[in-house]
Amino acid sequence: MSLLVSGKIERSSGYNLKLDLELPNHGVTAIVGASGSGKTTLLRAIAGLDFTPELSVSLDGISWQDQSVCMPAHLRPVSMVQQHAGLFPHLTVLGNLQFPKRRRDGYALDMEQAIERFSLSSLLHRKPASLSGGEQQRVALARALLAPARLWLLDEPLSSLDVLARRELAPLLASLCQELGQPVLYVTHALHEVLQIADYIVVLEDGRAVAAGNPDEVGRQIDHPISAEIDVGGILACEFDSFDPEHNLSRLNLGSEVLYVRGDLASLGPRIRLQIPARAISIARSDTDQSSMLNRLPVTISEIGEASSGSVLITLDCAGQTLFARITSLSAERLDLRSGLAVFASIKSVALDARND
Amino acid sequence: MNADLLQSLGVTLLLAAVTTLILLLVAPPLAWWLARTRHRSRPFFEALVALPLVLPPTVLGFYLLLAMAGDGALGALWTMLTGHSLAFTFTGLVVGSVIYSLPFVSQPLTTSFRNTDGMLLDAATLLGTSPVARFFRLVLPLHRRALIAAAVLGFAHTLGEFGIVLMIGGNIPGETRVLSILLFDQVETLNYAVAHTTALILLSMSLAALTLTYSTLGRNP
């Protein structure tokens, strides 16, 4: 049983989305793609907000829409948080929280829990216009959780927030996603936002799913892990070792190798996933030369892509995990890189930052 | 104050109040449909609603008179249902006023409804709110200013009605003689003192209503 989405969406503007996805009906599914890749179109279609007659959607064998049926959006058991909070301006915060129609089945949180989890008690009698962006989004999330649903749709819920508000809300959102016990579709252009909690990742590009799978395998599926705007790169599974407060670095183990990442990542748990964009990796033939780069991993070149616009994509095997490096084709020639060659991949430490933008 | 004047004032205010109440029931759903529909027939219905804006009231009054006559469609139905005739009654005036004042209530609402933030409608839908519930719980409260303004405008416009009343209402004291008709009568009989008072009442009521309308619409949300 799962969430099935298949068919196509065509817009008069020429934009079209063509998909055949079978998504797990539990855990967090990250849908990653650059703007214009069709992420929001997909979520709106699942929620039933737009008329998309050529798309079939079903959850656990119950069809929400196909050639013959179309369940109205307000009857679909989904709850969705969008980029913009969408709070009702004529109601107070409390009025907004009380807006969802009570459905027969239970809901994720009750009112008191929602107010407490999102620290809303001091805001209850204020109007949305007087709230900051972060506060508005907290109200929107609480309100969505008060509307019972069997599927939670998050459409870039943090993207309209400033960095501070995002840092505050991201961990709360992450823990809620895991606690809910409902499937969550989390759409974002910033994979790191959802990387630690994602159980399944779908990469969208130009209306097509170019990769779909578990975090460990998705990197290997992508033919071209970078489009013009998004650089998914490789995803490494590491273990948290220790935090060095003096240098503000976390030490992570990757097999017998060690990686250093800025900041204290202890709260992320013993297993940490790192997304390493292809543009953040450089390649060296030896590890003798001095460099400011802290992280230098022995890797084997498994594939060298076609050169295009002066750069080339190199697929690297790192103790069984896959990394990608995008370097100039001139460097590739000068270093005489070939398949099977053992080299060193240097990773800018900033690129490893799992939580900060 | 002159007894005739008081009586006409009573008829006028009652007519405007009843008409406005009916319009507040009829116009919002109609305006919402006109604001939202993409149906090909929309321009035709918009034109139909707007017709009283451009048509001489006597034309509308003439057709209403034909319809309300004992052998007219509306008149025959009304007589069958109630046993009374519709023409030259207060009820007949209400029917005429509702049609005549409809665009003044419906158009500001349509304009305001067109500016409804689609994101808010989506948000309400995603919270499990049906289209009808959305209209009552979200759309109407969001546009309450426009509703008040439209109601006041409809009320004020009904106060000043003349041509239609003349055609379908006649001039029955206490039943269909409204202030504008009384004014006409007084001028015809050269009773300028009462005419002055009547005109002044109409003028000040209209000015007050319009001031209220513009102050309601102009306030910050």
For the sheet containing A311-318, what is the strand order?
Answer: A281-284, A342-347, A295-304, A311-318, A321-328
Are residue A141 and residue A288 in the same domain, yes or no?
no
Specify the pLDDT at position A349: 61
Specify the pLDDT at position B115: 92
User: Between the CA of residue B94 and those of B11, B173, B192, what are the distances in Å?
Assistant: 11, 16, 29
Nearest one of A146, A172, A171, A155 to A93, comparing CA atoms: A146
CATH of the domain at A255: 2.40.50.100
Q: Strand A249-254 to strand A281-284: parallel, antiparallel, or no bridges (unpaired)?
A: unpaired
Are residue A213 and residue A238 in the same domain, yes or no?
no
Of the residues A193, A221, A249, the one at which a domain ends: A221
Contacts with B115 from chain A: Cβ below 8 Å: none
**Residue B211 tokens, joined:** 């001031």
Are residue A249 and residue A212 in the same domain, yes or no?
no
Specify the pLDDT at position A249: 86
Interface check for B130 against chain A (CB to CB < 8 A): the answer is yes
Residue A121 has phi, psi (to 5 degrees) of -60, -30
Are residue A23 and residue A102 in the same domain, yes or no?
yes
Residue A301 has phi, psi (to 5 degrees) of -75, 120
One DSSP character per residue, A16-59 reads EEEEEEEEESSSEEEEEE-TTSSHHHHHHHHHT-S--TTEEEEE
Are residue A245 and residue A124 in the same domain, yes or no?
no
Specify the pLDDT at position B112: 94
CA torsion, ordered A163, A168, A172, A175, to nearest 10 deg: 70
**Residue B182 tokens, joined:** 């009384």
Contacts with B124 from chain A: Cβ below 8 Å: 88, 99
Q: How far is B32 from chain A (nearest CA, A)?
A: 19
Are residue A22 and residue A111 in the same domain, yes or no?
yes
Of the residues A221, A253, A278, the one at which a domain ends: A221
* Contact (CB<8Å) A88/B138: yes
Residues 6+ apart with CB under 8 A from A55: A5, A6, A7, A8, A9, A19, A45, A65
Q: Within a domain: residue A228?
A: no
| Best A90, A107, A152 residue to mutate vs chain B (most B CBs within 10 Å) | A90
Assess contact for A244 and A337: CB atoms under 8 A.
no
**What chain B residue is nearest to A87 in terms of C-alpha separation?**
B120
Which residues constitute the domain of residue A339? 234-352
Of the residues A221, A243, A263, the one at which a domain ends: A221
* Contact (CB<8Å) B128/A82: no
Reported residue count of chain B is 221
- pLDDT by 10-residue block (mean), chain B, 221 residues: 84 94 96 92 92 90 86 82 82 91 95 93 92 94 93 92 85 83 88 91 92 78 49
Are residue A169 and residue A239 in the same domain, yes or no?
no
Cα(A100)–Cα(A22) distance, integer angstroms: 29
Cα(B150)–Cα(B168) distance, integer angstroms: 25
Cα(A87)–Cα(A99) distance, integer angstroms: 10
Nearest one of A69, A79, A138 to B124, comparing CA atoms: A79
Q: Within a domain: residue A86?
A: yes
What digits encode the pLDDT tens for the residues A294-349? 888 889 998 888 877 788 888 888 888 888 888 888 988 888 888 888 999 988 76
Are residue A217 and residue A294 in the same domain, yes or no?
no
**Residue A99 tokens, joined:** 């807006």
* H, E, C per residue of B21-69: HHHHHHHHHHHHHHHHCCCCCHHHHHHHHHHHHHCCHHHHHHHHHHHHC
Residues 6+ apart with CB under 8 A from A308: none
Specify the pLDDT at position B32: 96
* Contact (CB<8Å) B126/A75: no
Residues 6+ apart with CB under 8 A from B153: B104, B105, B108, B209, B210, B213
Q: Within a domain: residue A158?
A: yes
Cα(A189)–Cα(A230) distance, integer angstroms: 7
Q: Report the b/e string of B34-70 with b at 16+ CB within 10 A.
A: bbbeeeeeeeeebeebeebeeeebeebbeebbbbbbe
Q: Within a domain: residue A126?
A: yes
Are residue A163 and residue A250 in the same domain, yes or no?
no
Nearest one of A351, A40, A32 to A190, comparing CA atoms: A32
Provide the residue type at A25 as one letter: N
What digits encode the pLDDT tens for the residues A29-45? 999 888 778 888 899 99
Q: Which residues of chain A fall short of a pLDDT of 50?
A: 104, 353-357
Specify the pLDDT at position A106: 54
Are residue A238 and residue A181 in the same domain, yes or no?
no
Are residue A25 and residue A79 in the same domain, yes or no?
yes
Q: What's CA A226's distance to the chain center, in Å?
A: 15
Interface check for B145 against chain A (CB to CB < 8 A): the answer is no
Among the partner residues B119, B128, B131, nearest to A147 by beta-carbon distance: B128
Chain A residues bordering chain B (beta-carbon distance below 8 Å)? 47, 49, 72-75, 78-80, 82, 84, 86-91, 99-101, 103, 140, 143-144, 147
Residue B189 has phi, psi (to 5 degrees) of -95, 15
Assess contact for B96 and B169: CB atoms under 8 A.
yes
Structural domains of chain B sorted by starting position, each given as residue range(s) with its CATH number in brackets: 3-37+52-218 (1.10.3720.10)
| ipTM of model | 0.81
CATH of the domain at A10: 3.40.50.300
Specify the pLDDT at position A191: 79
* Number of domains within chain A: 2
* Contact (CB<8Å) A99/B122: no
User: Between the CA of residue B56 and those of A30, A253, B27, B185, what are the distances in Å?
Assistant: 64, 87, 22, 21
Angle in degrees, CA A260, A261, A264, rounded to 5:
115
Residues 6+ apart with CB under 8 A from B102: B23, B26, B27, B30, B49, B52
Are residue A107 and residue A133 in the same domain, yes or no?
yes
Nearest one of A357, A356, A163, A354 to A260, comparing CA atoms: A354
